[in-house]
Copies of this chain bind each other. A is one copy, B any other.
């Protein structure tokens, strides 16, 4: 259930002219840009980019980058990309543009997408950056986290629905014994979590809950350590991405991003821009159920200006 509202027909030429006009001269008419681009689907946006380039001999993406700024610019830029290009950019930024690797979006894409779809993103990444996701990732992290992430992005998980009940039992025990002795980075935990099929892994984690009366993620915390432990955080994220329904997972991401003292705009942008044409409607419903506040309301409370207006437009507000 998408939230994006867009006309069935549009004139790419008229759109390109209006965008050109909004960008011309001193200042930029952000409202005009939002009223056009915030109401066009992926294939319409693609045609607009092409038409704009043909008409004005100028790359629309570069123009938008130079006209806009801050979180608004980042949101519009991601929105204008093809979905696979957008995912490639998200991965690249997560790996290379921060002092600390942002493992969340890497895990999200590799664990929520099907192996086939994630491979397509990896191929787009290669075409865009002339390197593999794996080599960039491996270069920008180390130790246990590298081992975990390389295995999770590398494994082409089996996508069948078979469940091996005995295996679920024995691997639930393996995990329990490692956790009991606080060996969170035990290589058997990494092996099971990163290589088993999603169906099998869910069976194992259910079995864990049944036998040990607790969900695994609760215990993947090192009480002694006050600082955030990236390895454990990544492990919890993988488990969430695999066990939750995708929409429930995205709801949680947005909820946490808006709960933070400083709003986490990177996560808000990622979820809203990526899901507006997919299942943002369901995510909105789940958000309301869980928080008793509409997502629109929360967004308008925690963001502002053109950025807020753009997000609200993608969330299906007609204004």
Contacts and interface: CB of A to CB of B under 8 A. Distances in A.
9 residue pairs, one from A and one from B, having the closest CB atoms: A154-B154, A135-B195, A132-B158, A134-B155, A138-B191, A134-B195, A138-B195, A126-B158, A131-B158
A151 interface: yes
Contacts of A119: 119, 156
Contacts of A146: 187, 191
A180 interface: no
Contact of A132 (B153, B156, B191): B156
A135 B158 contact: yes
Interface in A172-228: 187, 191, 194-197
Contacts of A70: none
A126 B115 CA distance: 12
A122 interface: yes
Interface in A33-86: none
A113 to B, nearest CB: 14
Contacts of A191: 135, 138-139, 146
A125 to B, nearest CB: 9
A187 B131 contact: no
A161 to B, nearest CB: 10
Contacts of A197: 131-132, 135
Contact of A154 (B126, B153, B187): B153
B151 A154 contact: yes
B195 A142 contact: no
A114 to B, nearest CB: 12
A162 interface: yes
A247 B223 CA distance: 56
A157 interface: yes
Contacts of A126: 156, 158-160
Interface in A104-155: 119, 122-123, 126, 130-135, 138-139, 142-143, 146-147, 150-151, 153-155
Nearest to A132: B158
Contacts of A194: 138
A227 B122 CA distance: 40
Contacts of A134: 151, 154-157, 195
A196 B147 CA distance: 16
A122 B151 CA distance: 15
A294 B130 CA distance: 43
A168 to B, nearest CB: 13
A46 B127 CA distance: 37
Nearest to A116: B123
A142 to B, nearest CB: 7
B195 A160 contact: no
Nearest to A129: B158
13 contacts: A126-B158, A126-B159, A126-B160, A130-B160, A132-B155, A132-B195, A133-B156, A138-B191, A138-B195, A150-B150, A150-B151, A150-B154, A150-B195
A138 B126 CA distance: 26
